[in-house]
Chains A and B, each alone.
Chain A
Amino acid sequence: MADSKTPLLDQLETGPWPSFVKEIKKMAPEKPAAQDLLGQLEVSYEEKKGHWKHGGIVGVMGYGGGVIGRYSDIPEKFPNVAEFHTIRLNQPSGWFYNTKALRTICDLWEKHGSGLTNLHGSTGDIVLLGTTTEELQPTFDEFSEQGFDLGGSGSDLRTPSCCCGMARCEFSCFDTMDLCHNLTNAFQDELHRPMWPYKFKIKISGCPNDCVAAIARSDFAIIGTWKDDLQIDQEGVREYVKNGLDIEDLVIDRCPTGALSWDGNELKLEGKECVRCMHCINVMPKALRPGKEKGASILIGGKATILQSAFLGWVLVPFMEINKDNDYEEIKDLLDKIWEWWDENGKVRERVGETICRLGMRNFLRAVELDPIPQMVFRPRANPYVFWWPEEVK
């Protein structure tokens, strides 16, 4: 029996926030893996370093991703976490569950794994935390039978995720959940069988509030927007003002482009000036709505620091219609073109944003058949080192 005294971790059971130590301890009487995980974590707290070995390659038949192998580097002390692999399970769009689905997940995971989970991993997957190599295939088989599939890992399309969208948000400019589900199904191969230079993430937000942080954490961000003017219910606006909203200070003065004015009775919008930042709508949701011609902006390149510094996605398509009726053909076409170019030109472990930076937007845009437009840049270049295509020079 491993040392079960965990004085450092025990301190984290105090205080008002829900304690993860309590969660693990709850599982420990039933699951030796949870017990040993606590033990190893306590050692890590004492020594201030991790005790997992480098890497790990495990998986299930037919897939190249979805399981993250992990081994303890002190297995003699904690034999029950000697193998402690993580399984990523594709979440339902928007993380909507019924209790039957959750009970199924719990039952299967209690049977095959440590009983510990992460709801959810930051990409969106249900994370089943800790099992042995031997259990992987049977776990996968049983989840499959119940209608659950693995998510992505490695150099593949990672599990797409979306905000709750039209399920419960009046701001949403299209059906994020349907699009997320559709793309996940359309690109199963790309998701399960890593084939690219590096990972590729898609995230879908229904409006520019970007509640899944698509701009920062996905290579391909689909962010809802609209083309015409926002819808104003003047009576509703007056109601807000009557109820004490300081509209000048909280709305008019805070509009980033000064597109709004208030004459004491009516809210006026200079439609062409509006950059659809959502602020006025957020402040007065009962009076203001996104416009009627809805669609999405596509941003490319968002990623974390390694190697070329962190990128926020930048505009690739300012406005794209999001068409459920044609099975989202425009988005899929664009994705196919991007993947083809990136897979051909990207170096090992080069995110698409970095490939674009290395080879230039002009090469990228030509490959994906888009014209350069002002909306793609914050400001024009500040140096004169311009390349020309041979055919442009006389």
Chain B
Amino acid sequence: MPMIEVNGQQIEVDEDGFLVNTDQWSEEAAKYFAKEEGIDELTEDHWKVINYLRDYFFQFGIAPMIRKLCKETGFSLKQIYQLFPTGPAKGACKIAGLPKPTGCV
């Protein structure tokens, strides 16, 4: 597995650049992932989505459905893509340090 370096710490990611260990996530790591997903700077709106994803994941053990994400954060899917150009799964979930989405993608 490839390793990336964030603030001097070695972090293991998979081929798609997703965190292997959820506990290795940090705000600095989020910023690092954001760059990879075409985001220059994480704004307050980005953090709102990221924090919601993390809270939901730690409460329920899965990522929320897109409709839920939009309803709870108040962002439309269009706005989510404006914030995260690679989308909620590849973009937002990766930055939030959630496990890689699986299934028939």
Contact = CB atoms under 8 A, between A and B. Distances in A.
B87 A64 contact: yes
Interface stretch (B27-35, B45-53, B61-69): B61-69
11 contacts: A56-B15, A60-B86, A63-B87, A64-B87, A83-B15, A155-B66, A193-B87, A194-B87, A196-B67, A343-B67, A348-B62
A55 B67 contact: no
Contact of B90 (A59, A68, A155): A59
A57 B38 contact: no
Nearest to B66: A195
Contacts of A65: 105
Nearest to B71: A344
Contacts of A56: 15-16, 105
Interface range for B: 20 to 34
A197 interface: yes
Contacts of A343: 67
B56 interface: no
A54 interface: yes
A324 interface: no
Contact of A57 (B65, B70, B90, B104): B90
Contact of A344 (B15, B16, B67): B67
A55 B81 contact: no
Contacts of A358: none
B102 A55 contact: yes
Contact of B86 (A59, A68, A194): A59
Interface of A: 53-65, 68-69, 71, 83, 153-155, 189, 193-197, 199, 343-344, 348-349
B97 to A, nearest CB: 14
Main secondary structure of the interface of B (DSSP, over half): loop
Given A196-B66, A348-B62, A54 B86 contact: no
Given A55-B102, A61-B86, 5 more contacts: A55-B103, A57-B94, A64-B87, A153-B105, A344-B67
B63 to A, nearest CB: 9
A63 B16 CA distance: 16
Main secondary structure of the interface of A (DSSP, over half): loop
B54 interface: no
A348 B65 contact: yes
A194 B66 contact: yes
B100 A55 contact: yes
B101 interface: yes
Contacts of B67: 195-196, 343-344
B19 to A, nearest CB: 12
Contacts of A59: 86-87, 90
A57 B101 contact: yes
A348 B16 CA distance: 23
A233 to B, nearest CB: 48
The 4 A-B pairs with the shortest beta carbon distances in the complex, nearest first, are A64-B87, A154-B105, A195-B66, A61-B85
Given A57-B101, A71-B15, A64 B88 contact: yes
A195 B77 contact: yes
A121 to B, nearest CB: 13
Contacts of B104: 153-154, 199
B90 A193 contact: no
A195 to B, nearest CB: 5
A197 B87 contact: no
A352 to B, nearest CB: 14
B100 to A, nearest CB: 5
B17 to A, nearest CB: 9
A197 B102 contact: no
B70 to A, nearest CB: 8
